[in-house]
Copies of this chain bind each other. A is one copy, B any other.
Amino acid sequence: MSRGNTRQRIQDIALELFAERGYEKTSLREIAEQLGVTKAALYYHFKTKEDLVTSLFEDLVLGPADEVIAWAEARQPTTLETKLEILNRYSECISKATPLVRFIHENQAALRDLSVGEQMKARMFTLLKLIKDEDAALTDQVRCSSALFTMHSSLFTLESSGAGIEEKRQAALEVARELVTSAHHHGPAPRPAAETSSARHG
């Protein structure tokens, strides 16, 4: 029947269920049932449940993110322009993996026990370092974290707005760009204790 594509089909169903019901709540039995195969068949293609989820990460986000990182690291020191292009590129690559991004956001606790979780965290950390000045003020660190977070979460939030997926991506991207731009202009953290709260953008 199904030629050599079983592995792919497992990944598809798994991603769908993981995103929908969470990692721990999704059992291999369920995945197998939806596929019409036995649990044991899954074990022919993936050594463990963790192996299965890992394969999803590698194909869908770790690889793409590494490309963005490689591109950015070849271009140091990082100008504002580079930072914004990082956002552009990263935004594009995650928008192709929406369900997995949703999965990541909603299963942080589960990811803590998965080695792939560490890897993902590392990528985020690297990206963050690239768009954030070293010694940036605390507010600017927040801005940069927030920029990344925003791009992630906007992919699956705002369901009430009837906006299309690309529209949402663009909106999130714009806000992220503003946040990073704002952080960039402030430069390094000012003399400690001078952390005033008032506006100073633009």
Q: Which residues of A contact B (CB under 8 A)?
A: 21-25, 103, 105-110, 112-113, 137-139, 141-143, 145-146, 149-150, 153-154, 157-158, 161, 163, 167-168, 170-172, 174-175, 177-179, 181-182, 195, 197, 199, 201-202
What are some 13 contacts across the A-B interface (CB < 8 A)?
A23-B109, A24-B24, A24-B25, A24-B110, A106-B108, A107-B108, A142-B154, A142-B158, A142-B174, A145-B157, A149-B153, A171-B195, A199-B202
The complex is assembled from copies of this chain, and their number is 4
Cβ contact of A175, chosen from B103, B143, B154, B171, cutoff 8 A: B143
Complex alpha-carbon distance, A40 and B33, angstroms:
19
Complex alpha-carbon distance, A178 and B142, angstroms:
12
CB pair A150–B142 under 8 Å, yes or no, is: yes
Cβ contact of A171, chosen from B103, B138, B157, cutoff 8 A: B138
Give the distance to chain B from A124, nearest Cβ to Cβ, in Å: 10
CB pair A161–B149 under 8 Å, yes or no, is: no
Complex alpha-carbon distance, A106 and B107, angstroms:
6
CB pair B158–A145 under 8 Å, yes or no, is: yes
Please indicate the chain B residues that have their CB under 8 angstroms from the CB of A146 in the complex. 146, 149-150, 153, 175
Complex alpha-carbon distance, A161 and B140, angstroms:
12
Cβ contact of A149, chosen from B106, B108, B149, B197, cutoff 8 A: B149
